[in-house]
Amino acid sequence: MSEEIITEARAWRWLLTRCDNAACQPLPGPLAPAAHEVLDLYGPILEPDTIAIGQLGQSLDGRIATHTGHSQYVTGPEDIRHLHRLRALVDAIVVGAGTVASDDPQLTVRDVEGRNPLRVVLDPEGRLAADHKVFAAGGPTTLVLHKPGHAPDHLPAHVERAELPVETIMADGEQRERFAPRRVRDHLEARGLNRLLVEGGGRTVSRFLAADTLDRLHLTIAPMIIGSGRPGITLPPIDSLSRALRPPFREFRLGGDNLYDLDLRSKP
Ligand SMILES: Nc1c(N[C@@H]2O[C@H](COP(=O)(O)O)[C@@H](O)[C@H]2O)[nH]c(=O)[nH]c1=O
């Protein structure tokens, strides 16, 4: 009797549940090529005990939106599906307040099978209005991190809040208060949230990268040139290319886009 070929959908379900009941069951059979790719792409995210993975979808010229903030869509449906898969594999999604203000995302798992993670919004000033989708009743839990004395009391009672100290940094030529990425990660890990997706926007992902607080970065490049607008990764200036980051990477095709899976922990 020939063995049943493992489909992509079955491989995905296996990734979601593989270590349930404290035992990791092997997949019983040969893999279809798409099943192989799913295991190859997402397997490394599930291996370590704790992980923080950043993601951005950008144009060839490194933009994630126009100067007005129009961003739907830079990357194609396969990348959006990939984003939903990343969400389904983590304990918490982290976004900056700017992304909630400009994109009003839901941050839920909808395109694929899987459960919703906790949604974490970094809003030091507690300034976001209550009518954003992440604060609506009936969805997964949202946690707002704010600085001491700035609890967003105007938000509905089902929104969780936690206080975290800030540090003062220079951003866009001005002094601003931001959370140190390591402090955010430590705070969430102390709550048992060991797998984090830093989903956006460009400034938040860049700050986590600059602070060496990401283990992997998934950058999807769409064959589009915007030519101006909001940048993806922006790091402090370097004088010499010898100081540029050149992490080991893997490349995956997502429809018409290319995904770079950067391994920020291994040395090249
Ligand atoms: N437009 C755009 C992205 N936009 C981002 O997608 C998310 C939408 O969340 P939701 O409302 O739950 O569907 C949110 O984080 C938003 O900032 N992402 C990408 O990878 N590529 C794109 O072209």
Q: What is the DSSP string of 159-206?
A: SEEEE---EEEEETTEEEEE--HHHHHHHHHHTT--EEEEEE-HHHHH
Task: Residue 192: count other Cβ atoms within 10 Å of its Cβ.
Answer: 8
**What is the predicted pLDDT for the residue at 20?**
63
Q: What is the pLDDT of residue 1?
A: 57
257 pocket-lining for ligand 1 (C-beta < 6 Å):
no
Any ligand 1 atom below 6 A from CB of 57:
yes
Whole-number Å distance, alpha carbon 234 to ligand 1 midpoint, is: 19
- Dist. CA 38 → ligand 1 center (Å): 21
Q: pLDDT tens for the chain, 268 residues: list them.
A: 567 899 999 999 999 987 665 567 788 889 999 999 999 999 999 888 899 999 999 999 999 999 999 999 999 999 999 999 999 999 999 999 999 999 999 999 999 999 999 999 999 999 999 999 999 999 999 999 999 999 999 999 999 999 999 999 887 788 989 999 999 999 999 999 999 999 999 999 999 999 999 999 999 999 999 999 999 999 999 999 999 999 999 999 999 999 999 999 987 6
Contacts of 246 (CB under 8 A, 6+ apart): 268
59, 71, 226, best to mutate for ligand 1 pocket (most atoms within 8 Å of CB): 71
- Length reported for the chain: 268
* Residue reference for tokens 């982290």: 94
Q: What spacing in Å lies between the alpha carbon of 268 and ligand 1's midpoint?
A: 30
| Pairing assessment for the beta strands 195-200 and 92-96 based on DSSP bridges | parallel
The interface pTM score, or ipTM, of the predicted complex is: 0.92
CA distance 11 to 253: 18
pLDDT score for 25: 75
Ligand 1 close to Cβ of residue 58 (< 6 A)? no
Quote the ligand 1 centre to 75 CA distance (angstroms): 9
Q: Give the whole-angstrom CA distance, residue 67 versus residue 12.
A: 37
* Structural domains of the chain, ranges and CATH numbers in brackets: 1-47 (no CATH), 49-263 (3.40.430.10)
69 lines ligand 1 (CB under 6 A): no
